[in-house]
Structure formats: C-alpha cells, structure tokens
Structure 1
Amino acid sequence: MKIPHFRAAKGKELTLGIAVAVLFCTSPGLISLANAQTFGSSYTSTAPKDCRVSSVGNGIDDSTIRVCPGKAGLKVMVSEGDLRETVSVGRNRAAAAREPAAQGWFGPFNSTTTTVEWRAFKPFAIIQRWHLADNSDQDKDGRPIAKPLLAVTRLPPGAVCHVAYVDVKANPDANELARRAADENAHDFKCGKDEVKVIGAGGRAVELAQRR
C-alpha cells in the first residue's frame, strides 16, 4: 500500500504523525505487512575437511560419521553407510544420533552436497540438497543417474526430522520454495505424526524420496 505524502503546517506536524500512526494500526493490510517476518539464510559446510570424521564397523563394511559445526551451537551429524546418508542435528553427536532424522534413510543410494543452509539467525530449519540414484535411468556406462532433491529439516526445540521435499528438476524456483516451506511449516511440524509435505510440482526425485 502506498502511503500518501502530506504537507503539514508547522503547528500540525504532531497531529499528522498521530494520524499516520492510526492509519498503520487500523489498516489490516499494513498490520500484516508490519507483522510479516523475513528470515535470512546462512551457510555451513559438511565437507570432511571441516568436520570431525570417524569410522564405525568391522573394518570391512565400515561406515563413517562426520560431526560438523553448525549455527547457534548446533552440530550437524552426517552418517554414511551402504552408499546412503542420513543428516541429523543436535547440541552434540549423541543428541543428534537420538533424533528421528538420524534414522531417516532414503531407499535409493544417495548422497548430500556439503552445503547446509540455515534459516534465520536463531535457526529453526535447515535445507540441504540430496542426490538420489535412479536405477531406472542410467547413463551409457550403466550407472544410475542421480536426481536432485531439496529436503527441509526442522530443528530443536522439538524433534529433528524432514518437513518438506522439493524436486529440483521439476521446479525452477526450487530454492525459494524450500525456504518458504521451512518458514511456513517447520515450527509447527510434528515429527512422527505429520506427513512430509511435497512442495511445488512433483517429479522423479520426490518419487524416489518416498520409497523406503
């Protein structure tokens, strides 16, 4: 809404200021605008060089766990085994390992990129890009072609789990859709009760993500 420009005499400036204040307080459109929250993003890395890496297993089929610094005192735990990864968040490794996200395996072989996007200064969600192997779509050498997916994960307080999926190929504005999904859904999402939302147009990556 465009606020009209008023020209007031010197003795009427206070009255005009009050009138403008009343306009802001009584106009529903302006109240919504004033109450609207705009969240920014910051980024951290889960590259091995930036994390504490450890191996678990019997020396033959070892898996790895990376514990990486996040935001606001949180740690990101990336667990890899059998060519699949999970990503969880907590105050420390033990806390992250107890969260639902630590058991949130995708069925197809998969991996994550090493950039984590955090929403807000006091973060309530992260966004990360995954690559899910599609065995039904192979390259000339017979290797599965990975399909990109953005996963939104809610953060403490409360449980840590996936909130929403955005198919990158099916949505040119996938990043903005994921941010909007985080901002609008992460706070009130109930892990284990609410169903993970598919945001925007569906696609092959979403189909693969929903396989268990």
Structure 2
Amino acid sequence: MSLPMEPTSAAANESVYTDLDLDNCQTLSEDPMGVSLKCKGYRDYPVYFKEGDLRQSVFYGHVDQELIDGAFESFSAFNHINTKVEWRLDDQGKPFAAILRWFIDNPGPDGSSTRASRGEILVVSRVGTVDYGGSCMVALVDAKANPDANEKARQMADDTAADFACGMQEPEWVGKRGELVSERTFSWPEGYVVE
C-alpha cells in the first residue's frame, strides 16, 4: 500500500548570515570626518560601509561605482550598525536582499545613549547585481515596537527587494513605529537614477 504524496510547495527563499568585521575591510577613502570601506560579504557580494558625522551607511553587492563614491543613506539621528548581516537568497542561491539591524543613538537621562533609550531598526536593502548596480533601503521595521520584526523584515525582503527601484522609490515603514526610531536621510549622486 502506497502512502499519499505530500504536496510540494515552491522553493522558499532562504537566509544565510555573515559577520561584518569592520577591522578587516579594505579602506577606499578616509578623511578626518569619516571613512569608506569595502568589506567581505556573502561569496562575491561585498558590503560597502561608510561613516561620517557619527552616522553610518551600508550598500550591498555589485554596486555602481557612482553609488560607492557618492551615495550615503542613513538616519538623521546619530546611529551605528550591528555586525550580523542576514542575506535572503533566491532559488538559485543568489542574494537579492540584505537585512541589518541599526541602532539609533538617542540620548538617555544622563545625555548618553543607553539600551533603554536606543532605537533599533531592521533595515531591508536591495542587493546590487551584475545586471542592476543599485543598492538601497527598501523597508524599515521598528524592532522594539514589533515583536515579529524579523518576520516582517523577511516578508518585505521577499515581496519587494528584487524589483525595488533604487533612486526612484522610497523605502516604507512596516508595522508599528515607536518614538525611538529616526527619519531616513540620503544623498545620491547628482542625476543618479537606476532604471
């Protein structure tokens, strides 16, 4: 007697994780106000990191040189990133989105940032590919206001990142948004639009 076959579902997107070690990155440029780095990411998809004025910016993958040199996407408040990157892979094993936790350094009662005063945002970004050199923020999830923040971020990555038009679309906030988060800020190279 044969058993009934289980229904098969389409291959779900998978996650892989990499550590971002800023001490072992290649310095692209440096000045008294900040630094631009190229770091190891997932396979041949690097991570581009910038810091300036106590704010940080991150782009992923095969990114246009214009963006590497002239773009900065961050938050208006002082901030810093976590060091664990979650990459969402398609059914070919290629990354199309990256998820990274950012910390918003709000001042606490004594003026310095504390765990209680610090905001946390899961930032979903599009990963640049050989065919599409844009990388940018796609969705933002307040990690303290949403108990299911990781699931929300993965869902947005899977639903929107692969076709997101960097330079033409604004990233959207998903779920509840508390008071500890900050507004996104960005600076793109003049005339830069990825078609």
User: Which TM-score applies when normalising by structure 2?
Assistant: 0.78
User: For residues 116 and 147 of structure 1, what CA distance do their matches in structure 2 show?
Assistant: 18
Per the alignment, residue 38 of structure 1 pairs with 12
CA 1:169–1:91 in structure 2 vs 1: closer, same or farther (change >3 Å)?
Answer: same
- Check if 1:154 corresponds to 2:149: no
Any idea what SS the aligned residue of 2:42 has?
coil
- Structure 2 residue runs of 5 or longer lacking an equivalent are 187-195
Work out whether residues 107 and 211 of structure 1, in 8 Å CA contact, stay in contact via their aligned partners in 2: yes
CA 1:142–1:172 in structure 2 vs 1: closer, same or farther (change >3 Å)?
Answer: same
Work out whether residues 132 and 209 of structure 1, in 8 Å CA contact, stay in contact via their aligned partners in 2: no
Report the Cα offset of residue 128 of structure 1: 0.3
Per the alignment, residue 41 of structure 2 pairs with 70
Identity of aligned residues (%): 35
**Which has a greater percent of helix?**
1
Per the alignment, residue 170 of structure 1 pairs with 145
User: For residues 191 and 91 of structure 1, what CA distance do their matches in structure 2 show?
Assistant: 14
Work out whether residues 73 and 184 of structure 2, in 8 Å CA contact, stay in contact via their aligned partners in 1: no
- Check if 1:48 corresponds to 2:22: yes
Task: Pick one of 83, 88, 110 that aligns with 1:141.
Answer: 110
Matched to 1:112, the amino acid is: I
Runs of 4+ in 1 over 6 A off after TM superposition: none
User: For residues 192 and 184 of structure 1, what CA distance do their matches in structure 2 show?
Assistant: 18
Report the Cα offset of residue 75 of structure 1: 0.9
Per the alignment, residue 168 of structure 2 pairs with 193
User: For residues 85 and 174 of structure 2, what CA distance do their matches in structure 1 show?
Assistant: 19
RCO higher in structure (CA 8 A, sep ≥6) = 2
Report the Cα offset of residue 94 of structure 1: 3.9
Report the Cα offset of residue 66 of structure 1: 2.6
Task: Pick one of 62, 73, 81 that aligns with 1:91.
Answer: 62
Report the Cα offset of residue 111 of structure 1: 0.6
How is 1:121-132 mapped onto 2 (pairs within 5 angstroms)? 121-132=93-104
Question: Which structure has the larger Rg over C-alpha atoms?
Answer: 1
Any idea what SS the aligned residue of 2:44 has?
coil
Per the alignment, residue 12 of structure 1 pairs with none
User: For residues 63 and 138 of structure 2, what CA distance do their matches in structure 1 show?
Assistant: 22
Matched to 2:176, the amino acid is: A
Any idea what SS the aligned residue of 1:70 has?
strand
Cα root mean square deviation, aligned: 2.7
Deviation digits for residues 22-48 of structure 1 (CA, Å, limit 9, x no counterpart) = xx9xxxxx6xx633x411111112222
User: For residues 169 and 180 of structure 1, what CA distance do their matches in structure 2 show?
Assistant: 18
Per the alignment, residue 107 of structure 1 pairs with 76
CA 1:211–1:68 in structure 2 vs 1: closer, same or farther (change >3 Å)?
Answer: closer
**Which has a greater percent of strand?**
2
